[in-house]
Structure 1
Amino acid sequence: MTRIINALAGIAPNYDVLFCDLWGCVHNGIQAYPAAVAALQEFRHGGGQVCLMTNAPRPAPEVIASFGRLGVPDDAWDDVVTSGDAAQDALFSGALGRRVWHLGPSKDDSFFDAPAEWRDAAPIERVSLEDAEGIVCTGPFDEATDTPEDYRGQLMLAREKGLKLLCANPDLVVDLGERRIYCAGAIAEFYQELGGESLYFGKPHPPIYDLARRRLNLRDGARILVIGDGINTDIRGAVGEGLDSVFITGGLAAGDMGGDVENPEPGLLEEWLQQKLLDPTWAMGRLR
């Protein structure tokens, strides 16, 4: 049964490494949560390693570049691993072919810049849907207004052409401040509902965890704790990897946990988790 805890410090000595989600746990898309930053700093000062693991479709350097604006300091983390990093490996290795249609905003253009290990690979060419061998989805074209349904026609055409869709961000939604927006995962899920095939590389799927272990040079037996507010990404991924987890209830699920975002109501939490058929090791309102 999931146990509610008040602070990371109470369980930190049991772990060597944190795989910590970013959006909803460390920041809200606009600014960092000071208590979360302090908790990560304290864990590192105690000798632990922190990997910020995000389903952002952009490569890690692009995510790190936003930390100054958000207020995430350098001493709160050791490395950053993104869904975009893991998905890039698949793209440049030829999972879709070399001619792809990009479904996503222009801010994600860096996804198509070859990482160092793929500098000698044949380039990826972005083309129209009619000429494409596959689809790379990093999100809606317009995050402020678009929904998966807006792409029904294009996705039905893609399905008829037998195109695979590479999903660079398996998240369904995120909260930007007080506004909820759709992510690439929602479009990929909709494509599957239409009969298409979607490929995933971020949480909860194994490639992103394998990449994080390699980046941190983790030894066998390293005690890893997963922290996240996505029950079907962070927590499902932890279960799949056989790792302990902390479910942050004050993120995406905050509206289902009672009136105090910092302190979930135990009865509501238990009932909610039973419906999800998942059992995180620990739960906490906000990371602190």
Structure 2
Amino acid sequence: MTALTFVEKLRDLVDGVDVVLSDIWGVVHNGLEAFPEACEALHTFRARGGAVILITNAPRPADSVQRQLRKMGIADETYDAIVSSGDLTRHFVAGHPGKKMFWLGPERDNSIYRGLDPVLAPLEQADYIVCTGLFDDETESAEDYRGMMLKARERKLTLICANPDIVVERGDRLIYCAGAIAELYRELGGEVIFYGKPHRPIYERAMELAAERHSHPIELNRVLAIGDSVRTDLAGAHGFGIDCLFVTRGIHSEEFEGIDQLDPASVKELFGHPPKALTRELRW
């Protein structure tokens, strides 16, 4: 294993790359404001003939994600398509008509079942759980749901995790996501189905859309993933067999503060399977 250094520009890594699969939260914005240079980098890659597919663990349909990006001033021309864990979760719900669903998450995520007409039910009557997040991610943590998860385990309910992230940036803070509750439920012995990174379905769907943009299948050695999470972005890229550019300004920023190069031992400790390169923030 070799040392890792920081690269300053995306353009130094994309010779021979046809497709970029980019994370959104932590790479393109921080939940409150867009990163203009990152958006410009993706737009420039597209202008040179590449395809950009945004892949996100957002527990909402792609059109809802797009509306959020537009509100932040992120132009549609920045990317070709969006694949969200919310869309994959919707496929599960659509495939279980008539089953009673307990929805665990904030009201803002109600687009997860828009147009599906699921049978919403309290936990005591539900056939399964869909978790999009915490009811109040500003004040709560997964531990606040331990009692609820113990009751769910007693009923042997399957929990569908619509966002495998444990934490995500919101401005300069980290807030808990659905993945934190899902991991607690799994530790308690509950059954969990995860949709989103690092699991294969979201990458497979992204590659289908990339192939449509290029009008032919794309070889994996011509794909570059970009993300800021070791657990989801890097692990997902490695598991799918593609290179990853790791952005350190996101949820791991404190671990990389003041570091210009990582020796092999540090690479192994921080990453396990190393990324192709590191960058502090995405820019062309």
TM-score category of the 2 structures, normalised to the smaller one: over 0.9
Q: Provide the secondary structure at the position in 2 that maps to 1:44.
A: helix
**1:110 pairs with 2:105:** no
Give structure 1 regions of 4+ aligned residues with deviation exceeding 3 angstroms.
267-270
Verify the 8 A CA contact 1:97 1:134 in the aligned structure 2: no
Alpha-carbon separation, structure 1, partners of 2:136 and 2:63: 23
Per-residue CA distance 1:190-217 (angstroms, 9 max, x = gap): 1011111110110000111111122332
Alpha-carbon separation, structure 2, partners of 1:238 and 1:59: 22
Aligned to 1:19: 21
**1:135 pairs with 2:137:** no
Alpha-carbon separation, structure 1, partners of 2:112 and 2:239: 27
Per-residue CA distance 1:116-151 (angstroms, 9 max, x = gap): xxx7xxx41111000000000000000101110001
The aligned amino acid for 1:258 is E
The aligned amino acid for 1:55 is N
Q: Provide the secondary structure at the position in 1 that maps to 2:29.
A: coil
Alpha-carbon separation, structure 2, partners of 1:39 and 1:187: 35
Aligned to 2:280: 285
Q: Provide the secondary structure at the position in 2 that maps to 1:225.
A: strand
2:42 equivalent among 29, 40, 43: 40
**Structure 1 residue 268 displacement after superposition:** 7.3
**Structure 1 residue 270 displacement after superposition:** 5.9
Q: Provide the secondary structure at the position in 2 that maps to 1:237.
A: helix
2:93 equivalent among 67, 91, 94: 91
Alpha-carbon separation, structure 2, partners of 1:211 and 1:204: 13
- Closer, same or farther: CA 8–44 of 1 in aligned 2, 3 Å: same
Alpha-carbon separation, structure 1, partners of 2:262 and 2:218: 37
- Closer, same or farther: CA 97–170 of 1 in aligned 2, 3 Å: farther
Verify the 8 A CA contact 2:248 2:281 in the aligned structure 1: yes
The aligned amino acid for 1:153 is G
- Closer, same or farther: CA 181–14 of 1 in aligned 2, 3 Å: same
Alpha-carbon separation, structure 1, partners of 2:270 and 2:26: 21
> Which structure's relative contact order is higher, taking Cα pairs within 8 Å and 6+ residues apart?
2
- Closer, same or farther: CA 284–107 of 1 in aligned 2, 3 Å: same
TM-score (norm 2): 0.92
Aligned to 1:224: 223
**1:250 pairs with 2:249:** yes
The aligned amino acid for 1:21 is D
- Closer, same or farther: CA 255–161 of 1 in aligned 2, 3 Å: same
Aligned to 1:233: 232
TM-score (norm 1): 0.91
Alpha-carbon separation, structure 2, partners of 1:65 and 1:19: 20
Per-residue CA distance 1:231-279 (angstroms, 9 max, x = gap): 11011000011001101111111101124xxxx4213796154244121
Per-residue CA distance 1:82-103 (angstroms, 9 max, x = gap): 0111121122212x97211111
Alpha-carbon separation, structure 2, partners of 1:148 and 1:97: 29
The aligned amino acid for 2:272 is L
Verify the 8 A CA contact 1:86 1:211 in the aligned structure 2: no
Verify the 8 A CA contact 1:256 1:268 in the aligned structure 2: no
Alpha-carbon separation, structure 1, partners of 2:98 and 2:200: 22
Q: Provide the secondary structure at the position in 2 that maps to 1:14.
A: coil
- Closer, same or farther: CA 269–188 of 1 in aligned 2, 3 Å: farther
Verify the 8 A CA contact 1:100 1:132 in the aligned structure 2: yes
Per-residue CA distance 1:11-70 (angstroms, 9 max, x = gap): 122200100000000001111111101111110110000011110000000010011221
Per-residue CA distance 1:169-205 (angstroms, 9 max, x = gap): 0000001001210000011001011111110110000
Verify the 8 A CA contact 2:21 2:53 in the aligned structure 1: yes
Alpha-carbon separation, structure 2, partners of 1:273 and 1:4: 16
Alpha-carbon separation, structure 1, partners of 2:176 and 2:105: 11
2:144 equivalent among 150, 163, 166: 150
Which range moved further: 218-227 or 268-277? 268-277
Q: Percent identity?
A: 41
1:56 equivalent among 55, 58, 61: 58
Verify the 8 A CA contact 1:257 1:268 in the aligned structure 2: no
Unaligned runs of 5+ in 1: none
- Closer, same or farther: CA 211–267 of 1 in aligned 2, 3 Å: closer
Alpha-carbon separation, structure 1, partners of 2:108 and 2:69: 16
Q: Provide the secondary structure at the position in 1 that maps to 2:246.
A: strand
